[in-house]
Structure 1
Amino acid sequence: MRFVSALLAVASVVSTVKGYWLGDIPHQGFAPFAGSPNYPVFRNVRDYGARGDGVTDDTAAINAAINAGNPCNKNCVSTTMTPALVYFPAGTYLISKSVFPAYFTQLIGDAANPPTLKATANFAGFGLIDGNPYYTENLNWKSVNVFFRQVRNFVLDTTAIAPGTPATGMHWPTSQATSLQNIVFNMPATADVVHVGLFIEEGSGGFITDLTFNGGATGASIGNQQYTMRNLKFNNCKTAIIQLWDWGWTYHGLSINNCQVGIDISAGGSSKIDTGSVTLIDSSFTNVPVAVLTAWTTTSSPATAGSLVLENIALTNCPIAVKGPSGTLLAGGTTTIPAWSNGHRYTPAGPVQSAGPITPNSRPASLLAPSGQYFTRSKPQYESLGASSFLSARSFGARGDASTDDTAALQSAINAAAAQGKVLFLDYGLYRVTSTLKVPPGSKIVGESYPVILSSGAFFNDVNNPQPVLQVGNQCGQKGQVELSDFVVGTQGAQEGAVCVEWNLLSDAGAPSGMWDVHVRIGGYTGTQQQVAQCLKTPGNGAVKGGCVVAYMAMHVTKKAGGLYMENVWLWTADHDIDEAANTQITIFSGRGLYIESETGPFWLWGTGSEHHVLYQYQLANTRNIFMGQIQTETPYYQPMPNALTPFAPVAALNDPDFAVACAGVEGNCAAAWGLRVLNSQDVLVYGAGLYSFFSDYSTSCSTFSAGQTCQQRITSIEGTANNVNIYNLNTIGTREMLTRNGARVAWFADNVNTFASNVAVYKSS
């Protein structure tokens, strides 16, 4: 009987835990503007006929799952109205043509047993997964407007295709709020192989993590405005990475093994270099003859193009660390490179054109893993949990229809999940809330295809009494840990006092809280009442239209908070209407971007962006212990009509910039939003920054070198004390003074001409 009981117990466990929880839980996501109450947000490819047996051609079934409900695909500009999460259980899915994910669609495999997409020998297509097809000579979607997409947990296998036949694992020209995670690219490893794992030719990204490339001619052939990539492994590729072009790129945790060339940034040649800048940290090269191949020389063109910064790079049997057109720039061997750069340096004065060792950044211990590298943690996918460990928001009565007041239902769901030690599954929907949602310590919240928490009503519409929409930690400095992933916080209608996210929680530096793919998206989509119909742009008219002041601040980290890890977080005030056929520009006003005033830290910002806020995009005040990897900003397109004096008055308690005072006597368009402002802070380490000002009153004529980069006068400010405040590869566009210190100019755009931006490879505050 005991034996039988044991068998029954095992059978019970097997029947309960069928597979990855995402495929087992009930799915109740509701897309209120998709056109049908039965629109399927969640799709399991097996339900559409895919077999995953490695024998059946599953191409048609997979694309049928993607296209169910008529999502935004061919001949569609963009949308938020037809979200989709397409799930692949474990198995081998044979495909003979490309898989085409639609706009606002996620492809997610079983995280515990990633499925394989295996190409047939006669495969036809540009990528097993083609994220932006060429139906004509142009990409289907304008690459700089491809947002809110994910692919994770797959093996992409091209080994059945003849090595000498061109093949690509994934084609991925996309932009902000997109991510790739946990993908293996398997390619032939023969002398005649011409396969490429990942191909990106343009866009404005983005974040990628945890990819492995085996074999192939090139692991990743990539070009984009800016990117953060970490934990990429390359084994037995001819060339691990070909950098086609960029303005700024940050790599962390690369492991390049048995490749002939590690990173090739020589595109264009020394007379016209195409790579703007590369920041490479905490990485290793093993049995690689040339780690980095560059076209840079002291006389190459443009003056700062090909800027390269290395820090903490381990070499094993790597004869040449950096090779230029005339030979070795930096010798290799079996050694560790503490820090080295080529390009323009300001330490703190400059520019000095140089190639050679630099003093590595002094790294605070609280920012580091035990290895001495910067701490990282990939988005949790809860592989070990079964379906019973998840609670559904809609099961607590939340409607997600953008009109019902879901405050009480959502709060009940959040509280119940935290109290029971479970994960709250935020089924897709637009959840309207009329008072603050409070996230207690111990909470874990996971969204389904970017559901939205949408503030609305008078509670959030008093500019003199701002209120948080999502408050993490009920009191400033409350201790505990929270994990948030895959959802959006936004506002509906006039919301002059809405602070989209307020972070009060203090987490242990060794076990920080995290935000992964959590975005603030203010305006420009259906349900917000902040679209073309309400807030159409008015060039030449600086009046503030009623109802178009829509947020007080995107995110506020308060004084006693700390221990927060942020990865691929985009704090975006919309510049255009995503759901309008022409992507027409709009003018809406959000006061502030990300404000960190924590007294202790630590904070990790991997691949974050903050755009189009009135006063600043990033402001750090009286804080310390902050890592920033390839931050990206854009100034509001309407400024200076009106300028940053309107409509938000500076608040001294928030250390707001007072442009009326700071701009006295300063030439040019001074009263424009700061990209990055650092006040009285220490141990702020920026590993790549793209701070852009493309427009002046909606005209781009100001953003070129020939026009004098006159969109705004200043964009980066370091004020007060600044101990160990350092920036690698600062790239600015449309701005004359790249960096100021206590109001005085440090770096001038014309001294630091790069491909399209101006670049300073190394800035040290002291």
Structure 2
Amino acid sequence: MRLLLPALLAVAGFVGTVKGHWLGEISHQGFAPFAGANYPVFRNVKDYGARGDGVTDDTAAINAAINAGNPCNRGCASTTQTPAVIYFPAGTYLISSSIKPAYFTQLIGDASSRPTLKATPNFAGFGLIDSNPYYTEVLNWKSQNVFFRQIRNFVIDTTNIPPATAATGIHWPTSQATSLQNIVFNMPATPDVVHVGLFMEEGSGGFLTDLEFNGGATGASMGNQQFTMRNMKFNNCKTAIIQIWDWGWTYSGLSINNCQVGIDMSNGNTMNVGSITLIDSSFTNVPVAILTSWTENPNPATVESLVMENVVLDNVPVAVQGPNGRTLLAGGSTTINGWGIGHSYGSSGPTSFAGPVTPNSRPGILLNNGRYFTRSKPQYESVPVSSFLSVRSAGAKGDASTDDTAALQNAINTAVSQNKILFLDYGIYRVTSTISIPPGAKIVGETYPVIMSSGAFFNDINNPKPVVQVGKSGQQGQVELTDFIVSTQGRQAGAICIEWNLASDAGNPSGMWDVHVRIGGFTGTQQQVAQCPKTPGNPAVNDNCLVAYMGMHVTKGASGLYMENVWIWTADHDIDDAQNTQITIYAGRGLLTESENGPLWLWGTGSEHFVLYQYQFAGTKNIFMGQIQTETPYYQPTPNALVPFPVASALRDPDFQAQCAGVEGNCAAAWGLRVVDSSDVLVYGAGLYSFFSDYSTACSTFDAGQTCQQRITSVEGSATNVNLYNLNTIGTREMLTRDGRRVAWYADNQNTFASNVAVYKSN
């Protein structure tokens, strides 16, 4: 009788009586300061009538949960004011039309027992989950501005839909700070099937991990500017991946099994795919692993650049197939150590190649069983709710006005002392001095709460202070941080948003997952259109709009840091403005890494719109990067990078006054990537973009000569084993320089919209 009790309770209507993941059990006290006192941040779909019994149509109930509180939905440009977590306990939720999440909304299933979204046979809609609907001929939200979204812990099931009827699991045209995680797509596996698991056609992403696709015509069909995807399994799909278009895409940990084609990057010979980087992956029983339309004289010159490293084949007759069935690389049962197509640079170049690539020399400290180390975001599936401490229960308000410094610090210290996980209920936690995170801390945010600096303590440009400080100098241990934002309010010329001092063991590193720096451009920051409007043509600096000294600083003594889907962003527009109006705010430096020993892993990170640089690695080593993405400030060169932040020699800032002497063009512009006196810095995909000159995009095309800025990537000094795969630049003439000397020129490497260098090795 005991074994039958849960089923009997469900039949009797007592659905949801069996406890599940802690996220469904914890008391939810999240408060959205600008959405009204009664706005519900957390919604359990069963509280809105969903049953999850596999029989009842739960579509209306789920969408009711999404739409509670009047969130940003149809016709709304974007918002940070109405965050939401839509939680699904374990069960099977039958749906007959699309689930349509609102802006700034997360769909989260029980991580300990993934719920299933199962389509009815007569399902109608573009995706069981349609994250960006076509209410008209264009997407509801501009795909390049769809930020801060997650879907995780689901089974997406289209097997009820007839195989020959078009069906899509998830429609996902999104951009930065978004993610899909821990999702299985189940589709029919019949000869006539036309189902697609995942479809995206636009955007500026992004990160995906831990996805499995079973059956279907296509596992994932994708077009987007850039993406990092890791740990993806494809079983019995006709085609595992169709690459519709991209500028740069990094795949790691693909496992493609019993599919007819692994990755189709030919897209019907349209020449729309810029580049793909494929590492640490396997193909098993796949007739053609990679399908491309590349020929010996491509037009443009570097289209469909491809770099593969450490790719295992098992019963794969053709590794790379070109047009008309031509074999470019034979397969078999073997390991591809390194192979590619594109332009290569070293001490000279370019060299056009289609053949072997000398694989990177990989430091053992970055590896786990021969592959680059990875670790998925912890969700604490087996941890009881009693092991969590709520920051609001500990006295913090999160109302964007109260000084929460003491309450937040006390909550962190208490959680560590009691060996508990701190639950950062949604809110905007204003702090007026540094928040210290000691070794042993674990912090989990509820749909991106904000720790926001304010006041004079952070306002001295000559005496910068960290807002959030992880470990103090010399401390050792481990920290886990997930799902929150660090920001600033008003003038904060001395604010270092995150300072990382902690030394962690390389075999058990500390981690940041979905932790973002978001500076300006949202309600509560006092750094919006009203305070910091754009001023094209006017080089004068509004002193009140100096909003941060640095995004993140990994200091010399820090080590063992794993970063995944971390976006360090100085806002270029006001997210809470109805027209997404552009703004001009000044933040000095993006991500500075000075760790003397490493290792650091950066999976799917971005850094944008900082005055001096987006990424700088100085005196460091043992660095892995997967598909980094940058943008230069839109206002430069009016003013240029010489102002308003003075050169700090102790931080090894670029000295544009000296470096630009005798250099033509717009030289004093922010570096996308700068590597100084560092070794073993390995970049597997980089999109370094300069779209604007004084807010005009006229400079960023090939016809215009890519004149937005002169240089964007710099390798300097005693740098060794600094290697880049698929460097993509936009708006820049000198794609890469070594000690101030040009290495790669944009016109030699024309790709789709970007210029591309497939392989660069420093020595």
TM-score, scaled to structure 1: 0.97
Superposed counterparts of 1:328-727, under 5 Å: 328-369=327-368, 371-474=369-472, 476-727=473-724
Q: Which residue of 1 aligns with 2:20?
A: 19
- Shift of residue 397, structure 1, vs aligned partner: 1.0
CA–CA distance in 2 between the matches of 1:756 and 1:155?
A: 36
CA–CA distance in 2 between the matches of 1:379 and 1:615?
A: 31
CA–CA distance in 2 between the matches of 1:280 and 1:477?
A: 37
What SS does the corresponding residue of 2:410 show, helix, strand or coil? helix
Q: Which residue of 1 aligns with 2:281?
A: 283
Partner amino acid, structure 2, of 1:31: A
Q: Deviations over 1:571-601 (max 9, x none)?
A: 0000000000000000000000000001000
- Shift of residue 17, structure 1, vs aligned partner: 8.7
Identity %: 78
- Shift of residue 301, structure 1, vs aligned partner: 1.4
Note if 1:91 corresponds to 2:94: no
Partner amino acid, structure 1, of 2:290: V
Note if 1:765 corresponds to 2:762: yes
- Shift of residue 247, structure 1, vs aligned partner: 0.1
Q: Which residue of 2 aligns with 1:33?
A: 34
CA–CA distance in 1 between the matches of 2:474 and 2:498?
A: 15
What SS does the corresponding residue of 2:344 show, helix, strand or coil? strand
CA–CA distance in 2 between the matches of 1:264 and 1:421?
A: 48
What SS does the corresponding residue of 2:543 show, helix, strand or coil? coil
- Structure 1 portions without partners, runs of 5+: 1-14
- On the 8 A contact 1:17/1:386 being kept in 2, the answer is no
Q: Which residue of 1 aligns with 2:295?
A: 297
CA–CA distance in 2 between the matches of 1:259 and 1:293?
A: 13
What SS does the corresponding residue of 1:449 show, helix, strand or coil? coil
Q: Which residue of 2 aligns with 1:10?
A: none
CA–CA distance in 1 between the matches of 2:127 and 2:228?
A: 22
Q: Which residue of 2 aligns with 1:9?
A: none
Superposed counterparts of 1:249-328, under 5 Å: 249-269=249-269, 272-326=270-324, 327-328=326-327
- Shift of residue 547, structure 1, vs aligned partner: 1.3
Partner amino acid, structure 2, of 1:321: A
- Shift of residue 477, structure 1, vs aligned partner: 3.1
Partner amino acid, structure 1, of 2:267: A
- Structure 2 portions without partners, runs of 5+: 1-15
What SS does the corresponding residue of 1:395 show, helix, strand or coil? coil
CA–CA distance in 2 between the matches of 1:673 and 1:734?
A: 13
CA–CA distance in 1 between the matches of 2:387 and 2:394?
A: 15
Q: Which residue of 2 aligns with 1:110?
A: 110
Q: Which residue of 1 aligns with 2:122?
A: 122
CA–CA distance in 2 between the matches of 1:617 and 1:99?
A: 37
Q: Which residue of 1 aligns with 2:6?
A: none
CA–CA distance in 2 between the matches of 1:24 and 1:16?
A: 11
- Shift of residue 347, structure 1, vs aligned partner: 2.4
Deviates more, 1:396-405 or 1:181-190: 396-405
- Shift of residue 722, structure 1, vs aligned partner: 1.7
Q: Which residue of 2 aligns with 1:730?
A: 727
- Shift of residue 350, structure 1, vs aligned partner: 0.8
- Shift of residue 53, structure 1, vs aligned partner: 0.1
What SS does the corresponding residue of 1:62 show, helix, strand or coil? helix
Structure 1 segments, 4+ long, off by >4 Å, are: none
CA–CA distance in 1 between the matches of 2:163 and 2:214?
A: 13
For the aligned residues, what is the CA RMSD?
A: 0.9
- On the 8 A contact 1:298/1:353 being kept in 2, the answer is no
CA–CA distance in 1 between the matches of 2:628 and 2:479?
A: 23
What SS does the corresponding residue of 1:453 show, helix, strand or coil? strand
Equivalences, count: 747
- Shift of residue 349, structure 1, vs aligned partner: 1.6
CA–CA distance in 1 between the matches of 2:500 and 2:616?
A: 15
- On the 8 A contact 1:348/1:763 being kept in 2, the answer is no
CA–CA distance in 2 between the matches of 1:301 and 1:239?
A: 26
Q: Deviations over 1:50-84 (max 9, x none)?
A: 00000000000000000000000001000000000
- On the 8 A contact 1:278/1:309 being kept in 2, the answer is yes
- On the 8 A contact 1:607/1:629 being kept in 2, the answer is yes
Q: Which residue of 2 aligns with 1:157?
A: 157
CA–CA distance in 1 between the matches of 2:88 and 2:239?
A: 31
CA–CA distance in 2 between the matches of 1:201 and 1:301?
A: 23
Q: Which residue of 2 aligns with 1:172?
A: 172
- Shift of residue 300, structure 1, vs aligned partner: 1.6
CA–CA distance in 2 between the matches of 1:17 and 1:201?
A: 40
What SS does the corresponding residue of 1:153 show, helix, strand or coil? strand
CA–CA distance in 2 between the matches of 1:444 and 1:187?
A: 37
Partner amino acid, structure 2, of 1:484: L
CA–CA distance in 1 between the matches of 2:746 and 2:225?
A: 18
CA–CA distance in 1 between the matches of 2:715 and 2:18?
A: 54
Partner amino acid, structure 1, of 2:375: R
- Shift of residue 18, structure 1, vs aligned partner: 2.1
Q: Which residue of 2 aligns with 1:3?
A: none
Q: Deviations over 1:679-714 (max 9, x none)?
A: 000000000000000000000000000000000000
Q: Which residue of 1 aligns with 2:4?
A: none
What SS does the corresponding residue of 2:29 show, helix, strand or coil? coil
Q: Deviations over 1:203-235 (max 9, x none)?
A: 000000000000000000000000000000000
- On the 8 A contact 1:268/1:274 being kept in 2, the answer is no
Q: Deviations over 1:361-408 (max 9, x none)?
A: 000011001x20000000000001011010000011111111100000
- On the 8 A contact 1:127/1:171 being kept in 2, the answer is yes
Partner amino acid, structure 2, of 1:333: G
Q: Which residue of 1 aligns with 2:13?
A: none
What SS does the corresponding residue of 1:552 show, helix, strand or coil? strand
Partner amino acid, structure 1, of 2:289: A
- Shift of residue 298, structure 1, vs aligned partner: 1.5
What SS does the corresponding residue of 1:532 show, helix, strand or coil? coil
- On the 8 A contact 1:496/1:550 being kept in 2, the answer is yes
Q: Deviations over 1:340-375 (max 9, x none)?
A: 010000123211111000110000011001x20000
- On the 8 A contact 1:628/1:685 being kept in 2, the answer is yes
CA–CA distance in 2 between the matches of 1:349 and 1:381?
A: 48
Q: Deviations over 1:499-551 (max 9, x none)?
A: 00000000000000000000000000000000000000000001111310000
CA–CA distance in 1 between the matches of 2:18 and 2:759?
A: 52
Partner amino acid, structure 2, of 1:367: L
CA–CA distance in 1 between the matches of 2:18 and 2:134?
A: 42
Q: Which residue of 1 aligns with 2:134?
A: 134
CA–CA distance in 1 between the matches of 2:535 and 2:689?
A: 22
Partner amino acid, structure 2, of 1:418: V
What SS does the corresponding residue of 2:592 show, helix, strand or coil? strand
- Shift of residue 302, structure 1, vs aligned partner: 1.0
Q: Which residue of 2 aligns with 1:756?
A: 753
Q: Which residue of 1 aligns with 2:192?
A: 192
